[in-house]
Amino acid sequence: MAYAKATELANQGVAAGVLDSSHHPGWVPGDWVVFSGRYGTQNEAKTAVAALASKGHRSAHAKLVERPSS
């Protein structure tokens, strides 16, 4: 399902990918998460969320993704 959503975003011209939450500290392991972009500030991320919401992606939200654990 995550890959299908990432493909849907890509078809709308939004760069998107999928990551495994099991490799990221502070996230519930076992989830596949669709992401779109890297942002230097929280405000930039929130602006991107608003743009996604305007395209109908109402569940979009900004979340810090830390480097994968080893």
Q: What is the pLDDT of residues 7-36, one digit of tens each?
A: 999 999 999 999 999 998 888 999 999 999
Asked if pLDDT for residue 70 goes beyond 70, the answer is no
Residue 33 in tokens: 């998460």
The predicted model scores a pTM of 0.78
Count Cβ atoms within 10 A of the Cβ of residue 61 and give its class: 0-12 exposed, 13-18 middle, 19 or more buried. Answer: exposed
Asked if pLDDT for residue 69 goes beyond 90, the answer is no
Percent of the chain at pLDDT exceeding 90: 74
51: pLDDT confidence band, cut at 50, 70 and 90?
very high
User: Under DSSP, is residue 27 helix (H, G, I), strand (E, B) or coil?
Assistant: coil
Q: State residue 26's pLDDT score.
A: 84
Short-list 54, 64, 55, CA closest to 25: 64
